Amino acid sequence: MELLAIVAHPDDADIFCGGTLAKHADRGDTVTIAHMTRGEYGGFDTDEATVAETREKETRRSGNELGATDVTFLGFEDGRIEYSLEDRLEIVETIRAHDPDVILTHFRDDMHPDHRATSRLVTDAYYMASLPLVDTEHDPCDPDNVYFFGKPTSSFEPTTFVDISGYEDRKAAAIDHHESQVEFLQEHGGIDAEFDNLIDGVAAEDATLGKRTGVASAEGFVPLHDQACDYLE
């Protein structure tokens, strides 16, 4: 089985679905994390290139922590992702290149404009990826489903839950690899992260979802197509 997480920024995958990705990787599934941007706005340096270089290195370490087969960057600009046909076709090509069974991405209702734009691009590209007359380098493919993750402060109400009990420390370690971003978000708590302490806040949210579903810790998703599952498949 192949999972493709398409996220706006470095650390998004770790925060929202890191436990799920690690659990699938441990099962032997192929896990790819595709980042729309290199997160060049998320830092203290005045030089975007320096921030991006630092964050890319941190992201590759965190991807390794989660067991990702591939960590890639799609070249969009942080804070400047826009919806266009050209960009949608680029995501179609990304999906076709990896031919995933399942796609994970942001929920449509989110404070961050990059998250909103990514959600719309991925959702529409998912439909277009299977159309034979949509011409890209790779052949058409037909993923089974898209699972959306989101922030508890939005209208996001998960209906599919993955038990990540036992993966809490690994998820925290993956987030902690984003050393420059953890420090940045702690200074901007309530704006970017909704948590004064990023790692503790994420763990608390996972524990809350776990209590709702009878496990120690869980991550929640909204599927594009409803179906029952033990894993995202």
The answer to whether the beta carbons of residues 148 and 108 sit under 8 Å apart is yes
Q: Structure pTM? A: 0.90
- Write the pLDDT tens digit of every residue in 168-188: 999 999 999 987 776 666 665
Structural domains for the chain = 2-223 (3.40.50.10320)
- Spatial neighbors of 88 by CB under 8 A, at least 6 apart, are 121, 124, 125, 128
Residue 5 is predicted with a pLDDT of 98
Low-confidence ranges of the chain (pLDDT < 70): 42-46, 182-196, 227-233
Residue 45 is predicted with a pLDDT of 61
Pairing outcome for strands 30-35 and 70-73: parallel
